[in-house]
Structure formats: structure tokens, C-alpha cells
Structure 1
Amino acid sequence: MPIRTLVWGENVHEQKNKVVADNYPEGMHNQIARLLAKDPNISVKSTTLQAPEHGCTEAALAETDVLIWWGHAAHGQVQDEVVERVAKHVWQGMGLIVLHSGHFSKIFKRLMGSPCALNWREAGERERLWVVNPGHPIAKGLPAHFELEMEEMYGEPFSVPEPLETVFVSWFQGGEVFRSGLTYRRGTGSIFYFRPGHETYPTYHDETVGQVLRNAVNWAHNPNRFATITDAPNVPVDKALEKIEERGPRLHQHGEAGFR
């Protein structure tokens, strides 16, 4: 089966900024979806902040193998209930790819458990991305490095947890460097953070960026869901693998749920 991928876009700047609208007349989310659709192994849909429940209903997420998230100006408008729902699906095995300014999204900070802060500058600088993990599936088919002529600078320190793997490191004209491709696992879900994607520049029209995103979707895909990973069952004495006798005082009654 194709990898069912949902592209989530904030869709705010496209409505308010002419430069962004000119870059992405059908919305950034739809341009990202267009890049992904070049892979016949990916089936792609898109949704936005403005959709009911931000397009991340329980039914929609149940039919999503990999979720891609781009946000910037309206992180605070994302409902906490939706954030927790997305987190649950990641824990259960849904892949998550967070792009550019999505580092400050509620869902990324929720799953990282850290500030996710960084240095930045909006000056249209050249970005050179070095592939520092050439054997990684996300780097498949890429050159040793590639460049984006105009991008927003992100600089270290990046206050995220130590990643499982670093795939890309960026250099900018002003001299800063940044860990721009990081992988994580939360529960049974795989997460990839990819730095490029400032909305006033045509980053998502770049074919190499498209290859990274297609590779990332294939990497993040987990064909299985582990729905019970968030359960905390109270195992009865008579269900223990070895025979035991109950002894000592007890806080919970038999079969009673634990405190959360």
C-alpha cells in the first residue's frame, strides 16, 4: 500500500503576505504535497489550521502513516486537544516530519520536552547543507552537499534533546552553523526535523528539498500501529506469569485503573 501522508500547513502567511502568496499561490501545504506526489509510493493529502479540528480528527490521523507539519505565526491557535491527539498517534507509530519554524510548534515541543529555541536572522543568505550521514535513508540519492541560494538563518545552540541521528548540518553566509536534519523516536513513532522552508523564499520549489522530503516520508513510515502503548493495565495476581501470592497492603482494588 502507498504511504498515506498528510501535509499540515498553517496557511496564514499565504493569506496576508503578497510575497508568500506569489511563491505559493495554492498554499505551501499544497506545494509540499506536490513534491511528495512525485514518489508513486506516497499517497498524499493536505489540510490546514482553518479546517475543523485543524484537519487532525481522530479519523484522519487513523488513516495517516506520516504527518508533515509546517507552522509559524499561529502556533498558539492550535488546540491543545489536537496536539495531544497527534502525540498519541506518534507514540502509537505514526511518523512525524516537522519543517522549519515548526520547531516552535506545540506538537514538536510536546514531543521534545524542551524549549526548541535557536538563533535566527532573516537576510536571504545562502545556505549550504552538508550530508554528514551519507548512509542514512533520508540522504539517499543526495550529493555530498547542496545549496539554497536564499534562506533564513538558523544558528546554534538549538535547545532540543540529543538526537538519535544527525543527517544534515547547515552553514550560512554569515558564518553560523546549525544541525538541520535530526531524527528522534518517541514511543514507536519516528520523527524527523528538517530546517529549510522559510515562506518568503521558494524553498519548496527546490527539487533536492523535495528528494529529502520524499526520503523522509519513506524512512518515517511504520506499517504497524501499537494502540496499547499508552495503556497501563492493572495485571491481576492470577494472570502473573509465575504463581504468586498476594501480600501486604494495597492502594488499588482489583481491576481498578491507576492514577494519571
Structure 2
Amino acid sequence: MSKLRITVWNEGVHESTQDPAGMDEYYPDGIHGAIASGIREQLPDATVRTALLSDPEHGLPEEVLADTDVLLWWGHKAHGQVDDAVVDRVQRHVLGGMGLLVLHSGHFSKIFTRLLGTTCSLSWRNAAEREVVWTVDPTHPIAAGIPNPLVIPEQETYGEFFDIPAPDELIFISSFTGGEVFRSGVTFNRGKGRIFYFSPGDERYPVYNQPEIRRVLANGITWAARPGVDRTAPEVSNPARDWYSEG
């Protein structure tokens, strides 16, 4: 496989506002820094860059996306601040074959809701409960090497109903101390692009420091990547049929 080119996008709002207090203790380099560190650890041959909402063009100009095999997206408080022109650009690249990993509260991001065509809403509460991530498709490459179950000591609780289309593949289901269950790891195909949504990873807990979580993200990247694919998005056309004749 070619050397993978990975871009980790984070809105960076929690880091800039120091909300929650103490977040800099477990994410001293930001959520994006922790995710990028895990990717470098798990995929040492990959090229990894980070981008923030505050960067020019949110750090996602055409040349960056053209040089990205897989984009990871973490957002929470600033979905509405993402410029529609950047969303258009990301959508075009996903349809053309760029992989997309949408993480945690990124379920409400403009790019995810646009690609899925639903509200992507869910039930939630934040009470530092234990999350148990159960593998329901152990044959899937994203589940390779992942303990079943994967236990997260403290995490925001997500619960059904999760308003997404029926996923192409269901890989993980989570259960929580309060009794909720949630489809926490699902995949979709859009155009030539592969999408993996993985819910664990709230800003209040050091989830992205867990080795098992880092392995899930690395597996997701490897699965979603399509290096070398022609990035021309599928389109409707009416080609001439001069080469065809009846009889």
C-alpha cells in the first residue's frame, strides 16, 4: 500500500476556551494532537497533518484535500461556523474517493448530515458513565485486534434513537451504565468514498489516549483509504453512442 496521507480536523473551540477546565492535562496538544499522536503510533509510515477551524479555509484548501487519503473530523460547538464552501469541497473529495472518519459529536457536522441526508440526532447525557463497546461484526477489518468488549471507564452517554440511514455495515454497539444502547461504529459508502462513524471521544474524558481506541481509528483509516483512486466524483452524463449500431 502507498504511504497513507492523513488529515485530522478539529474545531479547536474547547481548547481555546479551556472548557472543560483541566482538559489541557490529558490533551495538552488538543484533541487533534491526541488523535494525530495515536495515528502516528499505530501507522508509523503514514504522513499525518492537523487542521483547525481557525486556520485559513479551516485548514482544508483544495491542495490539502487533494493530498489527503483519509480525513478525520471532530466537531462539537461550532458546526454552524464551518463555511459551506469548505463543506462543498470536502463532499466533492469524499464522493471522489477520499475516506472520512467522523468522530463523536461530529454526527451533527454539516458534512456528515449532508452526506447522510438525515438529522443525525440522538439522545445523550453527560454523567461520566462507563461505556462498553461490543463488536457485532468480528470479521470486519475495523474490528481487527479490538477486545470484545472494549471498556471505556468514563464517557458521555449516547443512546438510540440515532437518526441515520440504515448503515451499510454495523460494527460496534455500545451499552452504558444507565441502560442505553447505541450504534457506535457504523460505515457508509457515498460515491467512491468510504465513511466510518465512531462515537467514543468526548472532550471531558481522555478517550483518545486509550490504546484500543487508537487501534480502532487506525483500522478505520486503513479501511477507508483508497490511495491512487481517480478523485473525479461520479456524475450523470449522456455520452455519444456513435460506436454502437444495431444489427
TM-score (norm 1): 0.90
Deviation at 1:40, TM superposition (A): 2.2
> Residue 229 of structure 1 aligns to a residue in which SS?
coil
Aligned counterpart, 1:8: 9
Aligned counterpart, 1:48: 52
Deviation at 1:20, TM superposition (A): 2.3
Q: Report the residue type matching 1:57 in the other structure.
A: P
1:71 aligns with one of 71, 75, 97: 75
Q: Is the 8 A contact 1:5 1:66 kept in 2?
A: yes
Deviation per residue, 1:84-131 (Å, 9 max, x gap): 100000000000000000000000001000000000000000000001
Q: Give the distance between the partners of 2:90 and 2:131, measured in 1 at CA.
A: 31
Q: Is the 8 A contact 2:192 2:234 kept in 1?
A: no
Q: Report the residue type matching 1:92 in the other structure.
A: G
Q: Alpha carbon RMSD of aligned pairs, Å?
A: 1.3
Q: Give the distance between the partners of 1:225 and 1:190, measured in 2 at CA.
A: 12
Aligned counterpart, 2:154: 150
In the TM superposition, what are the counterparts of 1:179-190 in structure 2 within 5 Å? Answer: 179-190=183-194
Deviation at 1:46, TM superposition (A): 0.6
Q: Is the 8 A contact 1:151 1:197 kept in 2?
A: yes
Matched, 1:61 2:65: yes
Q: Report the residue type matching 1:188 in the other structure.
A: K
Aligned residues: 242
TM-score (norm 2): 0.94
Instruction: Call closer, same or farther: CA 1:227–1:26 in 2, change over 3 Å.
Output: closer
Q: Is the 8 A contact 1:5 1:67 kept in 2?
A: yes
Deviation at 1:234, TM superposition (A): 4.1
Which of the two has higher C-alpha Rg? 1
Deviation at 1:224, TM superposition (A): 3.3
Aligned counterpart, 1:113: 117
Q: Report the residue type matching 2:5 in the other structure.
A: R
Aligned counterpart, 2:220: 216
Deviation at 1:19, TM superposition (A): 2.7
Q: Is the 8 A contact 1:93 1:224 kept in 2?
A: no
Q: Give the distance between the partners of 2:146 and 2:65, measured in 1 at CA.
A: 31
Q: Report the residue type matching 1:7 in the other structure.
A: V
Deviation at 1:54, TM superposition (A): 0.5
Deviation at 1:42, TM superposition (A): 2.2
> Residue 168 of structure 1 aligns to a residue in which SS?
strand
> Residue 227 of structure 1 aligns to a residue in which SS?
coil
> Residue 46 of structure 1 aligns to a residue in which SS?
strand
